[in-house]
Amino acid sequence: MSQPSFTARKTANVAQITTSCLVLPIFKGLKLKGDIAKLDTQMSGAITRAIELGDFTAEVGSSASLLGNDRVQRILLLGCGTAKEFDLRSSKKLAQAAGKSLAATKAREAHLALESLPLTPEDTSHLLETLATEVLWACYVYTETLSKPKNLPNLTKVSVAAIPELTLGKVRKALNAGVAIGEGVNFTRQLGNLPANICTPTYLSKQARALGRKHAKLSVSILDEKKMRELGMGSLLSVGHGSDEPSQLIVMEYKGGKAKDAPYALVGKGITFDTGGISLKPGGKMDEMKFDMGGASSVFGTVQAVVNLDLPINVVGIVAAAENMPSGRATKPGDVVTSMSGQTIEILNTDAEGRLVLCDALTYVGRYKPKEVVDIATLTGAIIVSLGHEASGIFANDDDLANALLAAGQRSHDRGWRMPIWQEYQKQLDSRFADMQNIGAGTAGSVTAACFLARFTEKYKWAHLDVAGTSFLSSPKGATGRPVPMLVEYLRGRAGQ
């Protein structure tokens, strides 16, 4: 995977620098000033004319590409809308437009000009961070299983210069943060996009080991099936029973805080392929069930970003990885298993397997006496009925944690929406043959799934993110990297940043 690098420069005068592509954010209704006005004059008024002719409206998310001269070969105008209406949504749309154009440009190098933006230093640095993330997002191309890679971007370098309102150090910090998040997001997308014959539970454990080798503050351990059996994880193990691929419980421990600080825990559903098991899914779009490890891949991407941001907190990332297959050894509807918590579960539908792997991972994470636990899972089709592909479902047994995730989602443009886990829904899980059954009675499917998990998380503050609608899309088909931005923002908040 090749990606452009970002560099911060001390100064750069747009009326003097040489670049193959100058990226200019332009606010609606504002007169061009200073060096940008000078540049316009040098270009015989090309920018002003693009605006006057209506070719460039400066509407948020709009863009226009102009041919320049020998010094500035191209100018990419980015619409920012009006200064009065500029908000988080604008910076996201603007950054996405920049990403799209820069991923498509023939230029190998670009310079982003920050001068004369009518923004506070905080807004400028947030915009810069978002830009870096979105440019990396747009430049990601899946090539792994293509004999001839296509649509590779040309861009290799983007530079940004300090301005009086934003010192070199601050520019560098914003770029580094944006890059760390962008790389985390793309790592998550790559794991999601890989086919299930490559991305198996064992492959995921190798990825974790490789990540651990790269970073001194990250240690990785893997629990194999034998170890899980000893721990009594009968629920998790029942899911992979029909598969030839051994299940894995992957544990990544990041120590950025004090040795005795309780960690924040992330727990990801890592079903590397979900056929439904004996409760077999219909054939249409079944290929998309390679994305059923989207929760797990978001734990990988978030842990990587946290390490690269060097956050001063402790984080433990756990991935419950298994493949859900039908076979002569597979779990059958009506089978009863015993979870690590001691609670028994009647498996009425083998396609409700995510909660079965998560419940044991959630019991296991209790050992760490975590400050807060967030699980992330492509858990239910029902959450797509409720929230579509816009918001991840947030369920929580703690209001402060739910609010922190909601706010982090707003700030990072990766939103969630809170859903209930009221006691009244719990009775749908009553079973005659076990302490509970693994499916509800047919209504509020994403809520009853969360209610199931809630029975294993009573000892700590916990939130569950149902990302079935947000972690991948059918068209264009692919992993999105969500909810890595939300999770990183949440952890930065907890780290006091």
Catalytic residues, by residue number, are 281, 355
Instruction: Using CB under 6 A, pick the residue from 352, 356, 396, 419 that binds ligand BES.
Output: 352
Instruction: Using CB under 5 A, pick the residue from 40, 134, 225, 292 that binds Zn ion.
Output: 292
Nearer to ligand BES, 294 or 301 (CB): 294
Q: How far apart are CA 433 and CA 25, in angstroms?
A: 64
Least distance from C-beta 284 to ligand BES, angstroms?
A: 12
Segment interacting with ligand BES (CB under 6 A) among 188-196, 350-358, 412-420, 473-481? 350-358
Asked whether position 351 contacts Mn ion by CB under 5 A, the answer is: yes
Q: Around 338, how many Cα atoms within 13 Å sit in the side-chain half-sphere?
A: 5
Which amino acid, 302? T
Q: How far is CA 288 from CA 1, 127, 469, 477, 480, in A?
A: 23, 33, 12, 8, 13
Asked whether position 238 contacts ligand BES by CB under 6 A, the answer is: no
Nearer to Mn ion, 383 or 406 (CB): 383
Nearer to Zn ion, 174 or 450 (CB): 450
Start-to-end C-alpha separation, the chain: 30
From the list 466, 155, 451, the residue with the least C-alpha distance to 295 is: 466
Least distance from C-beta 438 to ligand BES, angstroms?
A: 8
Asked whether position 245 contacts Zn ion by CB under 5 A, the answer is: no
Instruction: Using CB under 6 A, pick the residue from 57, 202, 344, 349 that binds ligand BES.
Output: 349
Q: What is the DSSP string of 199-215?
A: S-HHHHHHHHHHHHHH-
- Greatest C-alpha distance within the chain: 81
Q: How far apart are CA 418 and CA 448, in angstroms?
A: 14
CA 401 to chain centre: 18
Q: How far apart are CA 299 and CA 74, in angstroms?
A: 39
Segment interacting with ligand BES (CB under 6 A) among 59-67, 159-167, 215-223, 345-353? 345-353
Enumerate residues 355-394 that contact ligand BES by CB under 6 A. 378, 380-382
Q: How far apart are CA 489 and CA 412, in angstroms?
A: 7
Asked whether position 323 contacts Mn ion by CB under 5 A, the answer is: no
Q: How far apart are CA 7 and CA 110, in angstroms?
A: 11
Enumerate residues 310-339 that contact ligand BES by CB under 6 A. none
Enumerate residues 434-453 that contact ligand BES by CB under 6 A. 439, 445
Binding-residue pattern over the window 260 to 289 for Zn ion, x denoting contact by CB under 5 A:
-----------x--x---------------
- Total number of residues binding Mn ion (CB under 5 A)? 3
Nearer to Mn ion, 251 or 451 (CB): 451
Asked whether position 245 contacts Mn ion by CB under 5 A, the answer is: no
Q: How many residues does the chain have?
A: 497
CA 294 to chain centre: 9
Asked whether position 274 contacts Mn ion by CB under 5 A, the answer is: yes
Nearer to ligand BES, 119 or 382 (CB): 382
Least distance from C-beta 281 to Mn ion, angstroms?
A: 7
323 binds, among Zn ion, Mn ion, ligand BES, none (CB under 5 to 8 A by kind): none
Asked whether position 81 contacts ligand BES by CB under 6 A, the answer is: no
Instruction: Using CB under 5 A, pick the residue from 4, 354, 409, 440 that binds Zn ion.
Output: 354
From the list 384, 340, 375, the residue with the least C-alpha distance to 232 is: 340
Least distance from C-beta 436 to ligand BES, angstroms?
A: 13
Q: Around 266, how many Cα atoms within 13 Å sit in the side-chain half-sphere?
A: 30
Q: How far is CA 298 from CA 263, 284, 495, in A?
A: 18, 26, 19
Segment interacting with Mn ion (CB under 5 A) among 39-47, 82-90, 105-113, 273-281? 273-281
Structure tokens at 127: 């915009």
What three-state secondary structure class fits 6? Answer: strand
Q: What angle do CA 229, 340, 421 make, to 5 degrees?
A: 145
322 binds, among Mn ion, Zn ion, ligand BES, none (CB under 5 to 8 A by kind): none
From the list 157, 130, 122, 152, the residue with the least C-alpha distance to 139 is: 152
Q: How far apart are CA 491 and CA 16, in angstroms?
A: 41
Asked whether position 466 contacts Mn ion by CB under 5 A, the answer is: no
Residue with tokens 């994305």: 291
Q: How far apart are CA 58 and CA 37, in angstroms?
A: 16
Instruction: Using CB under 6 A, pick the residue from 292, 323, 346, 360 that binds ligand BES.
Output: 292
What are residue 256's phi and psi, to 5 degrees?
-110, -15
Asked whether position 211 contacts ligand BES by CB under 6 A, the answer is: no
445 binds, among Mn ion, ligand BES, Zn ion, none (CB under 5 to 8 A by kind): ligand BES
Least distance from C-beta 405 to ligand BES, angstroms?
A: 20
Nearer to Zn ion, 274 or 323 (CB): 274
Determine contact, residues 400/493, Cβ cutoff 8 Å.
Answer: no
Query: How do beta strands 344-347 and 335-338 pair?
Result: antiparallel
Asked whether position 353 contacts ligand BES by CB under 6 A, the answer is: yes
Nearer to Zn ion, 79 or 270 (CB): 270
Provide the binding-site residues for ligand BES, judged by CB under 6 A.
274, 292, 349, 351-354, 378, 380-382, 439, 445, 468
Provide the binding-site residues for Zn ion, judged by CB under 5 A.
271, 274, 292, 354
Provide the binding-site residues for Mn ion, judged by CB under 5 A.
274, 351, 353
